[in-house]
Amino acid sequence: NLIYRDGVLGRTPTVPTDFDTLERRARRKMSAKGWAYVHGGAGLGRTMQANRDAFDKWQIVPRVLHDVSKRDIGVELFGRRIPAPVLLAPVGAAELARPEADVAIAAAAAELGVPYIFSNQGCAPMEESAAAMGDAPRWFQLYWSTDDDLVDSLLQRAANIRADAVVVTLDTTMLGWRPEDLNLGSLPFAQGQGIAQYTSDPVFRRIVHDRIKAAAKKPDVEVTLGAVRSLVSMTRRFPGRFLDNLRSPEPRAAVETFLDIYSRPSLSWADIETLRSRTSLPILLKGVLHPDDARRALDAGVDGIVVSNHGGRQVDGSVSSLDALVDIAPVVDGRLTLLLDSGIRTGADVFKALALGADAVTLGRPHLYGLALAGQAGARDATANVIAEFDLTMGLSGLTSVAEIDRDALRRA
Ligand code: FNR
C-alpha cells in the first residue's frame, strides 16, 4: 500500500485522504456556482444526508488470524478484469469544477485502470475523452433523447470508441429541484456547458440546422436580437471551449435544441425493451431504487442496474441508495450486475456496499473534488485513496478477495 507508506515516510498526499477535508479544500478552489452545482443536492439535502447516514447503520465485524498477506481486490465486469470494484460515475458539466475536466478525469481513470463512465452531458466529445485513455476501460452514459435517431447515433459512437457498456440514466427525465443552483440563477446547460456530446453529433447538428432553416423562413426580429445577445454573453463567459464545441450551428439554436430534446419524460419499459436491438453493448439501468423496478429490469433482460439516487440530486426525501440495495439485492440474487452509488466516501463504505450485495460501486463527488483541487492527479488520488482504504479494510477484516465479502462480515448497528 504505497499511499500508506508515503504517509509513514512523511510525504504529503496530493489531496486530503479523508472526504470531509477533501470537500472543504475543494470548495475553496471552486466558484460559487461550481460549488453549488457539484456539492448541491435536491431540496433540503435530506437524501444526501441519508445516503451517508445509511452506511452508519451497518458495522464491520473483522475476523482475526486469517492469512491476509496476499490480497486481490480485482473484479470482473462484463468479461473484463478491473483492478478494484470501483468506477468513476458519469458527471455532466464537470468544467464547473475545473476547466478541461472530462479529459483530465478520463486520463486519471486510465492511470488507475478503473472505468470512467462518460456522461451524455460531458463538456468534451466522448471521442476526445476516449483518446486520452489508451485501451483503458470506458463506458457511456445515455440520457434518452426524444429524438430516436440521436439515441442511435450516440449508441453508435459509444460502440465506435469501444465502450464496454451503456448506462441509461432513468432518474433524470427532468432535472430535480436544486435550490442552490436556482438561487444563483446558475443552470449549467442553459449557459452552454455540458452539451458537447450533442454539438459534436452529426444527427444533433442536422436537427439544429433544420431548425435554423425553418426559423429563417419566418424571420422574427425578437428572436434574432435575442440570439445575438446570448451569443455575445456566452462567448464572454466561455471563450475557447464553447465556440469550439459549437463550430457551425448557431449557439442559441444549439442550446435551445438541446433543452428541447435531451430527455424524454414519457420514457417507459417498452422503450427499454427496444434497446437490446439497438446496441450490442451490455446495458445497465441507472437510478433504480424500488425492488419491483429491479424485477422489471430482470424481465426486460438488461445486463445490470445501478442502484442510485443520483447523489441525492433528484428526489429530496427519497430512500438512501444503501437502504435500497438491501431490498434489491435479494431480488436480483446474482442474476445481473449490481452497482451502487450515492454517498460512497470511504473504503469502508465500499466494503459495506459489497457485503450487502453490490458487485462494484461508482464514485461521483470524490473524484470531482480531487479534480477541482489538483486536476488529473487529484482525481486520480482521490479515487486511489478510497481504493487503498478498501484494500486495507478487506485485509484487516480477515478477507483476501472481493468474492469473500458477504453479509457475514456485517452486523446491524
Ligand atoms: C452527477 N450525476 C450524473 N449522473 C448521470 O447519470 N449523468 C450525469 O450527467 C450526471 N451528472 C452529475 C454531475 C455532478 C456534478 C454530480 C455530483 C453528479 C450523478 C452521478 O453519476 C452519481 O450518481 C452520483 O454523483 C453519486 O453520488 P455521490 O458519489 O456524488 O454521492
Q: Are residues 322 and 175 in the same domain?
A: yes
Question: Which residue has the least CA distance to atom 5 on ligand 1?
Answer: 90
Average pLDDT over residues 325-349: 98
Q: Is residue 188 part of a domain?
A: no
144 with 209, same domain?
no
Query: For a pLDDT cut of 90, what percent of the chain falls above it?
Result: 83
309 part of a folded domain: yes
pLDDT tens profile 114-127 = 999 999 999 999 99
Pocket probe for ligand 1: among 119, 170, 340, the residue whose CB has the most ligand atoms within 8 Å is 119
Say if CB 145 and CB 267 are below 8 A apart.
no
Distance 223 CA to ligand 1 centre (A): 34
Domain boundary among 260, 282, 316: 260
281 in a structural domain: yes
Written in H, E and C, the secondary structure of the chain is CHHHHHHHCCCCCCCCCCHHHHHHHHHHHCCHHHHHHHHCCCCCCHHHHHHHHHHHCEEECCCCCCCCCCCECCEEECCEEECCCEEECCCCCHHHCCCCHHHHHHHHHHHHCCCEEECCCCCCCHHHHHHCCCCCCEEEEECCCCCHHHHHHHHHHHHHCCCCCEEEECCCCCCCCCHHHHHHCCCHHHHCCCCHHHHCCHHHHHHHHHHHHHHHHCCCHHHHHHHHHHHHHHHHHCHHHHHHHHCCCCHHHHHHHHHHHCCCCCCCHHHHHHHCCCCCCCEEEEEECCHHHHHHHHHHCCCEEEECCHHHCCCCCCCCHHHHHHHHHHHHCCCCEEEECCCCCCHHHHHHHHHCCCCEEEECHHHHHHHHHHHHHHHHHHHHHHHHHHHHHHHHCCCCEHHHCCHHHEEEC
The number of distinct structural domains making up the chain is 2
CA-proximal residue: ligand 1, atom 24 (nearest): 311
How far is ligand 1, taken at its centre, from the CA of residue 222, in Å?
37
Average pLDDT on 281-310 reads 98
Q: Is the pLDDT of residue 35 over 80?
A: yes
Q: Please check whether residue 191 lies inside any domain of the structure.
A: no
Over its C-alpha atoms, the chain yields an Rg (Å, rounded) of 21
pLDDT of 62 reads 98
Indicate the pLDDT class of residue 224, thresholds 50, 70 and 90: low
Q: Is the pLDDT of residue 236 over 60?
A: no
Binding-site residue positions for glyoxylate:
37, 143, 178, 310, 313
CATH of the domain at 153: 3.20.20.70
Q: Identify the pLDDT of residue 32.
A: 94
Residues 63 and 155 in one domain: yes
- List, for residues 153-206, the tens digit of each pLDDT value: 999 999 999 999 999 999 999 999 999 999 998 776 656 789 999 999 999 999
190 in a structural domain: no
Domain limits at 250? 196-260
Q: Sign of the CA dihedral 15, 20, 23, 25?
A: negative
Q: Does one domain contain both 74 and 204?
A: no
Q: Give pLDDT, residue 251.
A: 77
Whether residue 232 sits in one domain with residue 97: no
Q: Is the CB of 89 under 6 A from ligand 1?
A: yes
Are 350 and 303 in a shared domain? Answer: yes
For residue 155, being part of any structural domain is answered with yes
Per-residue pLDDT, averaged over 297-311, amounts to 98
Is 304 a domain residue?
yes
Shared domain for 255 and 287, answered yes or no, is no
Measure 311 CA to ligand 1 centroid, in angstroms: 6
Q: Looking at 66, 290, 310, 367, which residue is catalytic?
A: 310
Q: Which of residues 237, 260, 283 is at a domain's end?
A: 260
Cell of 157: 459512437
Greatest alpha-carbon span in the chain: 80
What is the average per-residue pLDDT within 13-33? 96
150 shares a domain with 268: yes
- Shared domain for 123 and 238, answered yes or no, is no
How does residue 226 score in pLDDT terms, banded at 50, 70 and 90?
A: low
Task: Assess whether 150 and 297 both reside in one domain.
Answer: yes
Task: Pick the last residue of a domain from 260, 292, 309.
Answer: 260
Active site residue 209: no
Give 411 or 256, the one with higher predicted confidence: 411
Q: Kindly give the distance from the C-alpha atom of residue 88 to the centroid of ligand 1, in angstroms, as a whole number.
A: 10
Does 95 fall in a domain? yes
263 CB near ligand 1 (under 6 Å): no
Q: How confident is the model at residue 220 (pLDDT cuts 50, 70, 90)?
A: low
Determine if ligand 1 sits within 6 Å of the CB of residue 92: yes
Whether 91 lines ligand 1, by a CB cut-off of 6 Å, is yes
Residues annotated as binding site? 37, 90-92, 119, 141, 143, 169, 178, 286, 308, 310, 313, 341-345, 364-365
Cα angle 233, 234, 237 (rounded to 5 degrees) comes to: 90
In a shared domain, residues 304 and 374: yes
Shared domain for 109 and 211, answered yes or no, is no
102 lines ligand 1 (CB under 6 A): no
